[in-house]
Amino acid sequence: PRWPGAAPPEDAGIDRLRRAARSCEGCDLYRDATQTVFGDGPDDARLLMVGEQPGDTEDREGEPFVGPAGRLLDRALEAAGIDRSQVYVTNAVKHFKFTRAEHGNRRLHKKPSRGETLACRPWLLAELDAVRPDLVVALGATAAQSLQGPEFRVTTQRGRLLDLDIEGAPKPYRFLATVHPSAVIRLSGDEREEALARFTADLRKAADAIA
Protein backbone atom coordinates (compact mmCIF):
# COMPACT_ATOMS: atom_id res chain seq x y z
CA PRO A 1 0.00 0.00 0.00
CA ARG A 2 1.03 3.60 -0.52
CA TRP A 3 0.56 4.41 3.16
CA PRO A 4 1.77 1.27 4.94
CA GLY A 5 1.84 2.87 8.40
CA ALA A 6 -1.81 3.86 8.30
CA ALA A 7 -3.64 0.60 8.70
CA PRO A 8 -6.37 0.62 11.34
CA PRO A 9 -7.20 -2.81 12.76
CA GLU A 10 -10.28 -4.22 11.05
CA ASP A 11 -13.69 -4.28 12.76
CA ALA A 12 -12.24 -2.59 15.82
CA GLY A 13 -14.14 -0.51 18.34
CA ILE A 14 -13.16 3.07 19.17
CA ASP A 15 -10.91 2.21 22.13
CA ARG A 16 -8.86 -0.23 20.11
CA LEU A 17 -8.64 2.17 17.19
CA ARG A 18 -7.49 4.97 19.49
CA ARG A 19 -4.74 2.78 20.92
CA ALA A 20 -3.59 1.64 17.49
CA ALA A 21 -3.56 5.20 16.12
CA ARG A 22 -1.01 6.27 18.73
CA SER A 23 1.77 4.63 16.73
CA CYS A 24 0.57 5.57 13.24
CA GLU A 25 3.36 6.56 10.88
CA GLY A 26 1.16 6.68 7.80
CA CYS A 27 2.46 10.11 6.81
CA ASP A 28 5.27 12.29 8.13
CA LEU A 29 3.18 14.43 10.48
CA TYR A 30 3.82 12.14 13.47
CA ARG A 31 7.46 13.26 13.46
CA ASP A 32 6.90 16.80 14.72
CA ALA A 33 3.55 16.52 16.47
CA THR A 34 3.36 15.81 20.20
CA GLN A 35 0.83 12.99 19.89
CA THR A 36 -1.99 11.51 17.86
CA VAL A 37 -5.25 13.30 18.63
CA PHE A 38 -7.97 10.72 18.11
CA GLY A 39 -11.72 11.31 18.12
CA ASP A 40 -13.61 11.69 21.36
CA GLY A 41 -17.20 11.07 22.38
CA PRO A 42 -19.70 8.25 22.82
CA ASP A 43 -19.17 5.32 20.46
CA ASP A 44 -22.94 5.16 19.95
CA ALA A 45 -23.31 8.86 19.12
CA ARG A 46 -25.99 9.70 16.57
CA LEU A 47 -24.00 12.71 15.40
CA LEU A 48 -20.37 12.53 14.32
CA MET A 49 -18.50 15.77 13.59
CA VAL A 50 -15.27 16.00 11.63
CA GLY A 51 -12.83 18.93 11.81
CA GLU A 52 -9.58 19.43 9.93
CA GLN A 53 -6.70 18.56 12.26
CA PRO A 54 -5.75 19.23 15.87
CA GLY A 55 -4.49 22.72 16.63
CA ASP A 56 -1.72 23.74 19.01
CA THR A 57 -3.84 23.23 22.15
CA GLU A 58 -5.24 19.90 20.97
CA ASP A 59 -1.73 18.69 20.12
CA ARG A 60 -0.62 19.33 23.69
CA GLU A 61 -3.78 18.10 25.42
CA GLY A 62 -4.46 15.10 23.18
CA GLU A 63 -8.16 15.85 22.63
CA PRO A 64 -10.02 17.34 19.67
CA PHE A 65 -11.53 20.83 19.72
CA VAL A 66 -10.40 21.92 23.18
CA GLY A 67 -8.68 25.18 22.07
CA PRO A 68 -10.10 28.43 20.65
CA ALA A 69 -11.91 26.74 17.73
CA GLY A 70 -13.39 24.27 20.19
CA ARG A 71 -14.72 27.07 22.39
CA LEU A 72 -16.46 28.66 19.41
CA LEU A 73 -17.82 25.27 18.39
CA ASP A 74 -19.14 24.75 21.94
CA ARG A 75 -20.97 28.09 21.83
CA ALA A 76 -22.51 27.36 18.44
CA LEU A 77 -23.53 23.82 19.45
CA GLU A 78 -25.23 25.14 22.55
CA ALA A 79 -27.06 27.80 20.54
CA ALA A 80 -28.18 25.08 18.12
CA GLY A 81 -29.47 22.92 20.97
CA ILE A 82 -26.87 20.19 20.53
CA ASP A 83 -25.30 18.61 23.63
CA ARG A 84 -21.61 18.17 22.84
CA SER A 85 -21.30 15.29 25.27
CA GLN A 86 -23.60 13.34 22.92
CA VAL A 87 -21.46 14.03 19.84
CA TYR A 88 -18.49 12.03 18.61
CA VAL A 89 -15.96 14.70 17.60
CA THR A 90 -12.96 13.92 15.45
CA ASN A 91 -10.67 15.28 12.73
CA ALA A 92 -9.83 14.38 9.13
CA VAL A 93 -6.13 14.42 10.05
CA LYS A 94 -5.01 13.29 13.48
CA HIS A 95 -1.65 15.00 13.89
CA PHE A 96 -0.99 18.74 14.17
CA LYS A 97 0.78 20.22 11.14
CA PHE A 98 2.59 23.48 11.76
CA THR A 99 5.48 25.76 10.91
CA ARG A 100 7.51 27.78 13.38
CA ALA A 101 7.01 31.53 13.35
CA GLU A 102 10.13 33.34 12.12
CA HIS A 103 10.38 35.25 15.36
CA GLY A 104 9.58 33.55 18.59
CA ASN A 105 8.71 29.92 18.80
CA ARG A 106 5.01 30.04 18.08
CA ARG A 107 3.66 27.08 16.14
CA LEU A 108 1.53 28.22 13.23
CA HIS A 109 -1.17 25.96 11.81
CA LYS A 110 -0.51 24.66 8.29
CA LYS A 111 -3.25 23.16 6.16
CA PRO A 112 -2.76 19.41 5.64
CA SER A 113 -2.03 18.29 2.08
CA ARG A 114 -4.38 16.06 0.10
CA GLY A 115 -1.83 13.27 0.54
CA GLU A 116 -1.82 13.63 4.32
CA THR A 117 -5.61 13.73 4.35
CA LEU A 118 -5.74 10.57 2.23
CA ALA A 119 -3.19 8.87 4.47
CA CYS A 120 -5.36 9.55 7.51
CA ARG A 121 -8.68 8.73 5.82
CA PRO A 122 -8.66 5.03 6.79
CA TRP A 123 -8.79 6.09 10.47
CA LEU A 124 -11.73 8.39 9.84
CA LEU A 125 -13.58 5.66 7.95
CA ALA A 126 -12.82 3.21 10.76
CA GLU A 127 -14.32 5.66 13.28
CA LEU A 128 -17.40 6.03 11.09
CA ASP A 129 -17.77 2.28 10.93
CA ALA A 130 -17.33 1.91 14.70
CA VAL A 131 -19.84 4.65 15.55
CA ARG A 132 -22.30 4.33 12.62
CA PRO A 133 -23.89 7.73 13.31
CA ASP A 134 -27.20 8.90 11.87
CA LEU A 135 -25.59 12.10 10.61
CA VAL A 136 -22.04 13.14 9.72
CA VAL A 137 -21.23 16.87 9.94
CA ALA A 138 -18.09 18.11 8.18
CA LEU A 139 -16.58 21.31 9.55
CA GLY A 140 -14.75 22.95 6.67
CA ALA A 141 -13.34 21.87 3.33
CA THR A 142 -10.65 19.45 4.51
CA ALA A 143 -13.20 17.25 6.28
CA ALA A 144 -15.84 17.62 3.58
CA GLN A 145 -13.38 16.77 0.79
CA SER A 146 -11.87 13.86 2.68
CA LEU A 147 -15.35 12.33 2.81
CA GLN A 148 -17.02 13.55 -0.39
CA GLY A 149 -14.00 13.95 -2.70
CA PRO A 150 -11.84 16.87 -3.82
CA GLU A 151 -14.52 18.42 -6.03
CA PHE A 152 -16.81 19.07 -3.08
CA ARG A 153 -17.39 22.76 -2.34
CA VAL A 154 -18.53 23.83 1.12
CA THR A 155 -19.40 27.31 -0.18
CA THR A 156 -22.14 26.00 -2.50
CA GLN A 157 -23.21 22.91 -0.54
CA ARG A 158 -23.19 24.07 3.08
CA GLY A 159 -26.27 23.50 5.20
CA ARG A 160 -27.77 20.91 2.84
CA LEU A 161 -28.67 17.41 3.89
CA LEU A 162 -26.82 15.12 1.50
CA ASP A 163 -25.91 11.45 1.23
CA LEU A 164 -22.44 10.17 1.97
CA ASP A 165 -21.59 6.95 0.19
CA ILE A 166 -18.71 5.06 1.78
CA GLU A 167 -17.38 1.97 0.09
CA GLY A 168 -18.32 -1.09 2.14
CA ALA A 169 -20.90 0.69 4.32
CA PRO A 170 -24.30 -1.02 4.43
CA LYS A 171 -26.09 2.20 3.44
CA PRO A 172 -25.23 5.83 2.77
CA TYR A 173 -24.82 8.10 5.77
CA ARG A 174 -26.68 11.37 5.97
CA PHE A 175 -24.23 14.21 5.65
CA LEU A 176 -24.13 17.95 6.14
CA ALA A 177 -21.19 20.28 5.57
CA THR A 178 -20.61 23.68 7.09
CA VAL A 179 -17.68 26.01 7.60
CA HIS A 180 -14.86 25.43 10.04
CA PRO A 181 -15.21 27.37 13.32
CA SER A 182 -11.76 28.90 12.68
CA ALA A 183 -13.21 30.62 9.62
CA VAL A 184 -15.60 32.43 12.00
CA ILE A 185 -12.84 33.27 14.49
CA ARG A 186 -10.75 34.91 11.75
CA LEU A 187 -13.45 37.53 11.13
CA SER A 188 -14.33 40.51 13.29
CA GLY A 189 -17.23 42.80 14.04
CA ASP A 190 -20.45 42.40 12.07
CA GLU A 191 -18.88 39.93 9.67
CA ARG A 192 -18.05 37.64 12.53
CA GLU A 193 -21.53 37.88 14.04
CA GLU A 194 -23.07 37.10 10.66
CA ALA A 195 -20.75 34.15 10.06
CA LEU A 196 -21.50 32.81 13.54
CA ALA A 197 -25.24 33.10 12.91
CA ARG A 198 -24.92 31.16 9.63
CA PHE A 199 -22.73 28.53 11.26
CA THR A 200 -25.26 28.13 14.08
CA ALA A 201 -28.11 27.89 11.55
CA ASP A 202 -26.28 25.05 9.77
CA LEU A 203 -25.84 23.24 13.07
CA ARG A 204 -29.52 23.73 13.82
CA LYS A 205 -30.30 21.92 10.54
CA ALA A 206 -28.10 19.10 11.77
CA ALA A 207 -30.01 19.03 15.06
CA ASP A 208 -33.34 18.94 13.19
CA ALA A 209 -32.10 16.11 10.98
CA ILE A 210 -31.56 13.82 13.97
CA ALA A 211 -34.48 15.06 16.08
Binding stretches for ligand URA (CB under 6 A): 51-55, 58, 64-65, 67, 69-70, 91
What's the closest the beta carbon of residue 64 comes to ligand URA, in angstroms? Answer: 4
What's the closest the beta carbon of residue 58 comes to ligand URA, in angstroms? Answer: 4
Q: Closer CB to ligand URA, residue 26 or residue 67?
A: 67
CA distance 48 to 136: 5
Based on its alpha-carbon atoms, the radius of gyration of the chain, rounded to whole angstroms, reads: 16
Edge-to-edge strand list for the sheet holding 162-164 = 87-91, 47-51, 135-139, 173-178, 162-164
What's the closest the beta carbon of residue 37 comes to ligand URA, in angstroms? Answer: 6
Q: Closer CB to ligand URA, residue 50 or residue 172?
A: 50
Supply the angle between the helices 141-148 and 114-131 in degrees, to the nearest 10: 70
Q: Closer CB to ligand URA, residue 63 or residue 129?
A: 63
Q: Minimal CB distance to ligand URA: which residue?
A: 51
Q: Closer CB to ligand URA, residue 58 or residue 175?
A: 58
What's the closest the beta carbon of residue 65 comes to ligand URA, in angstroms? Answer: 4
CA distance 86 to 42: 6
| Burial environment of residue 62 by CB neighbours within 10 A (0 to 12, 13 to 18, 19 or more) | middle
